[in-house]
Amino acid sequence: MASPTAIFVSISTENDGGERIDEIIRNYLDPITKQVLGIWLDHCACAKRELGEEERASLGKRDCVIRNKTIEYDLGSSFPRMFGPEAAKEILEAIKEYFFMKT
């Protein structure tokens, strides 16, 4: 599962010490990301609307699935490498307990 706003990009550059990638980021990615952020802020983050009970419940379920998959896939794959399998298991259990007691 991926965020609906996630974009995966691969950029190949020459062995120029990073100058080309800096140019790509500055000239192409920077203006686009600012536009996308502006749209998101205007229409999503700062927008106000009332939700009905059904829509609120649906969004709550969706958030729970996303939270669970994030813990399972993202943290579940990186924590064992970072902390070792035993510590990772304990940390992940604590995170799950915290987040799923709130829902």
pLDDT in tens, the chain (103 residues): 445 555 556 666 677 777 888 888 889 888 998 999 999 888 887 878 888 999 999 999 998 888 888 888 888 888 998 899 999 999 999 988 888 775 4
Q: Which residue from 60, 88, 61 is spatially nearest to 74, judged by alpha carbons?
A: 88
Determine contact, residues 47/60, Cβ cutoff 8 Å: no
Q: How many residues does the chain have?
A: 103
- Domain ranges in the chain are 1-48, 51-103
Q: What pLDDT does residue 7 have?
A: 56
Which residue type occupies 25?
A: I
Say what the pLDDT of residue 1 is.
45
DSSP code at position 43: I
